[in-house]
Amino acid sequence: MAQLVDSSVWITLERRGLTLDDLAQVVGEEPLRLASITASELLFGVYRADSPERRRRRESFVEEVLRLIPVLGFDISTARTHARLWALLATAGTPIDANDLIIAATAVTHAHSVLTENLRHFIPVPGLVVRQPAWP
């Protein structure tokens, strides 16, 4: 099962000065993927950098991630899953953040787990396998 990596994991890597190789040691052999909304969140972080140096560093990191990790788009199949999960969560009174719902729907559609630092953001989603990285 591939793992769809949430922004929180990429932020942890960048802030700790870790590399994709460090992440590979944590996740093992499973392939990694990104939801298109996660790519947008990472690029948003580049544009919001508070200094030119930090922006260059973030941009380099994000571009490496985007070059190496396949990005899954929000297609009609994912839209159907998104609508179903949105309705289920709303009915249960456990809505989650809009971007996290897109990530969850992408993962469920492609039978991937979600790798995140924010378990509580994804635990309410029925049928979603949620994992947290065990950093050394």
- Report, as an integer, the average pLDDT of 79-95: 97
Per-residue pLDDT, 128: 97
Residue keyed to tokens 């590979």: 24
Q: Using an 8 Å Cβ cutoff, are 130 and 6 in contact? A: no
Per residue in 14-55, pLDDT (tens digit) is 889 888 899 999 998 899 999 999 999 999 999 999 999 999
DSSP assignment of 1-39: --EEEPHHHHHHHHHHT--HHHHHHHHTTS-EEEEHHHH
Domain ranges of the chain: 3-131
- pTM, whole model, 2 decimals? 0.94
Q: Using an 8 Å Cβ cutoff, are 105 and 80 in contact? A: no
Superfamily of structural domain 3-131: 5'-nuclease (3.40.50.1010)
Q: Using an 8 Å Cβ cutoff, are 45 and 62 in contact? A: yes
Percent of the chain whose predicted confidence (pLDDT) is above 70 = 100
Beta bridge partners of 131: 115
Q: Using an 8 Å Cβ cutoff, are 96 and 121 in contact? A: yes
Per residue in 106-121, pLDDT (tens digit) is 999 999 999 999 999 9
1 has pLDDT over 90:
no
Per-residue pLDDT, 92: 96
